[in-house]
Structure 1
Amino acid sequence: MTTHLPQKGYSPGTNDDSRRLSRGDARTLSLSALGGALEFYDFVIFVFFSTVVGTLFFPSEMPEWLRQVQTFGIFAAGYLARPLGGVIMAHFGDLLGRKKMFMFSICLMAVPTLIMGLLPTYDTIGIAAPLLLLLMRVLQGAAIGGEAPGAWVFVTEHVPSRHTHFACGTLSAGLVGGILLGSIVATVINAAFSQAQISEFAWRFPFILGGVLGFVTMYLRRWLHETPVFAEMQARKTLAQELPVKTILTRHGRSVILSMGVTWILTAAVVVTVLMAPPLLKSVTGIDPQTMQLANSVSILAVLVGCVFAGWLADRLGPGPVLAFFSLGLALCFGLFYSTMLTSTEHVFSLYALSGFFVGLVGVIPGIAVNSFPAAVRFTGLSFSYNVAYAIFGGLTPMGVSFFMALDPMAPVYYIAFIGALGMMIGALVMRQTRRVATTATV
């Protein structure tokens, strides 16, 4: 059996039986991916209706620029709440069980999302309206901070270790699918109702839908079982004896750095290529907004395919070479896509889809981060590293890229090229550590 080497970077997981994926594994993956998609939908649907929400939840006499700042400030509050919520839920996940926190996270997302769809507006209850909206957004942030790390740990400890990366890739595809679902719902609402109707009542439908679907998923997750890895630790009484976050900070610093590094790559790939590219290119090239939105949806579909393929490939070749290959592919393809768009938008669909496929590197990253921590503090280690890195880089990346675009319109390309180089470097490190672990196990 392979052993975990927490101070030397990446190593295989502890659930290393060689059986094939069973029907139970498929059910676990399906319910985990579905829940992740719906939870990410709940988290991002706010941004699709931010303009309407800002109009309804702040005074009408407030200047438009200030209203936008206040609205996006509430949106950003969800990101700021992620690290705290993630660490708290991970703490109890390492001590009380993965499934309990897995269930709690989706409940914590469903309830505030439903409430957001039912909240009275500023005209009805005054300043209490934006304050309640802020509170709901903070709760959403706390929930999403525990969902993604918890889901990755949950599926990793359920499936055979030779399918770890495929499981994480499938789950990552589900999370990205939540963004696509939000885009589709927003498109349908805008097509079915006039702007007056949306402002009057239809803006509530996406939030209510998200809350209801969250409760449905929570019910379905009742049929999931605690992970075999946690159950074994519980039976052997080998759970963490001290605060898990203290353990990971004092004993697993290299694993924290590695996990934060790969999270930086994940954040840049999603934020710049999926979320920022459409508005940036619309402002620079003047491309038709509907065409750009459709191309973005096609690109997200390609991300889903890339996630699953990257995970599948990593189980066969190892995560290191796959991360390095996809990082290089992302740097080259996004550079080609973006630079081409500055002169011609003729091939927007094909080039954007190709870039999206290599964003699928986010499918191999969770497996690297999960397996860098020992089982006793795995949930806390991943959650702390992932959420802190996401809060830092998720917040700084849009501002940094926007600032440098004022100096050079190719700034997004340069940043993704840097991220590609970082991915290749970490991929090489993972390959070296994997060989070292294999040699140690053989000896």
Structure 2
Amino acid sequence: MKTKAIKNTIFASLGGILEFYDFVLFVFFTSVFAQVFFPPDDAFWANVGVWTSFGAGYLARPFGAMVFAHFGDVKGRKNVFYISMLMMILPSFALAFLPSYESIGLFATISLFLIRIVQGLAVGAEISGAWVFVSEFVSEKYKSLALGFISATLTFGLLLAGLVSLWINVNFSTEEIKDYAFRLPFILGGVFGILACFLRTKLNETPEFERLKKNQELLKFPLIEALKTHKLPMLVCVLMSFILSSGLATLTIIPKHFDMFMGDEVQKLLYSNFAIVAVILGSFIQGALASFFGNFKICIIFSILFACFGFALSLYDENFLLYYLLACFMQGIISFAPIFMTAVFKSSLRFSGLSFAYNVSYALIVYITPFVIDQIYDHYLGYYFILVALASLFCVFLVKKIQERV
């Protein structure tokens, strides 16, 4: 049973890797997309359009969450996992071979929006589905370790994207990247997705869903029931989504402002990859520590440390880069998002309730986070990190309260 749990945990993590890989690639190549898939005579609106298409994928997530998670609670976790992965692969290949605006005009722009929307629908159930799947397969003793591993592998997708983007920038000229080289990472993502899809055919259904099915405890409309009876758990999802979104701030937004410390683009990409490694290690180590010393104790310790180093880096002194990497390591508190969220929902509605609350809040928060960070970066960034840590500490209080009621 332990071998089966390990296998299923690894296979479940593959979709999250692909999602974060595609996410960062889109961010890294937004300027290229603005030139290739939008009218060339208005750079400002092309830039607005490409970021709007990026946001459209996130805004589509809640709809995908409602549909896929419903079937995950009613028909089974395994089948939904396979379909969502397939819907992530096809858009990746479509983007890799999408003709330019010069070739097909406005159809290129519309197609980019549609690709992002289809990806968003699939992703709506992918990450939350992995959390639910793993939480129902792994024993209580190792659940925090397994979910910490899932969080680490999500960030590993960022690392892969960062390394591929670095390789593209080092080996191709600006003109070559615009002409064809930007397509190579998306082809690689599609190939990886096919392998992941094949491996997912070997997944087993979770014992918990099998028990619900056997005992005829499945609900007809799990999301409606969750909205009626699980308001506090949904608040936990909202707060943990805010904490997860802070990873976006540390790993993709703050590096945009590295110009004050380093001017070379390759050097900035290298440092961004170091930061991603720090989050990967932080997520896995904190999940492991939580398995042995308890979720609440470890979450409290690292949330406080995250606030301290986050505030320290906002001073922008000579130790900025050191504080930045330490804050990224403490950013491993994102591993408590799946740990807490899967613990506060009944299994009969866990997929629907978690997916809906997480995806709605995460989509909205992630959409506005870049604008907020850009506005507060110079003077108030430290207070943002303190607010994230306070949200994490408040989640500890809420989860304790919910578990005491059961």
Q: Please, what TM-score do these two structures have when normalized by structure 1?
A: 0.88
Q: Which residue of structure 2 lines up, in the alignment, with residue 155 of structure 1?
A: 134
* CA deviation vs aligned residue, 1:34-70 (integer Å, no higher than 9, x gap): 3321232123311211111111111222x21111111
Indicate the larger mover: 313-322 or 95-104.
313-322
Which structure 1 segments of 5+ residues have no match?
A: 1-20
- Is residue 2:365 matched to residue 1:362? no
Q: Which residue of structure 2 lines up, in the alignment, with residue 267 of structure 1?
A: 245
For 2:13, give the aligned amino acid.
Answer: A
Aligned residues of 1:314 and 1:364 also touching (Cα < 8 A): no
* CA deviation vs aligned residue, 1:395-426 (integer Å, no higher than 9, x gap): 22222232334xxx132211111121222232
Q: Which residue of structure 1 lines up, in the alignment, with residue 271 of structure 2?
A: 295
Secondary structure of the corresponding residue to residue 348 of structure 2: helix
Aligned residues of 1:99 and 1:224 also touching (Cα < 8 A): yes
* CA deviation vs aligned residue, 1:232-254 (integer Å, no higher than 9, x gap): 1111111113x221111111111
Q: Which residue of structure 1 lines up, in the alignment, with residue 157 of structure 2?
A: 178
Which structure 2 segments of 5+ residues have no match?
A: none
Aligned residues of 1:310 and 1:361 also touching (Cα < 8 A): yes
Q: Which residue of structure 1 lines up, in the alignment, with residue 20 of structure 2?
A: 40
Q: % of aligned pairs identical?
A: 34
Indicate the larger mover: 414-423 or 395-404.
395-404
Give the Cα separation in 1 of the matches to 2:244 and 2:39. 38
Q: Superposed, which structure 2 residues align to 1:1-400 within 5 Å?
A: 22-61=2-41, 63-241=42-220, 243-268=221-246, 270-282=247-259, 284-285=260-261, 288-339=264-315, 342-344=316-318, 348=321, 350-400=322-372
For 1:216, give the aligned amino acid.
Answer: L
Give the Cα separation in 1 of the matches to 2:271 and 2:180. 29
Aligned residues of 1:267 and 1:394 also touching (Cα < 8 A): yes
Change (3 A) 1:262 1:301: same
Aligned residues of 1:163 and 1:315 also touching (Cα < 8 A): yes
Aligned-residue offset at 1:276: 1.4
Give the Cα separation in 2 of the matches to 1:124 and 1:147. 34
Give the Cα separation in 1 of the matches to 2:107 and 2:330. 44
Give the Cα separation in 2 of the matches to 1:356 and 1:301. 9
For 2:310, give the aligned amino acid.
Answer: F
Q: Which residue of structure 2 lines up, in the alignment, with residue 411 of structure 1?
A: 380
Aligned-residue offset at 1:288: 4.2
Secondary structure of the corresponding residue to residue 144 of structure 1: helix
Aligned residues of 2:64 and 2:124 also touching (Cα < 8 A): yes
Indicate the larger mover: 273-282 or 325-334.
273-282
Give the Cα separation in 2 of the matches to 1:201 and 1:288. 23
Q: Which residue of structure 2 lines up, in the alignment, with residue 10 of structure 1?
A: none
Paired residues, number: 406
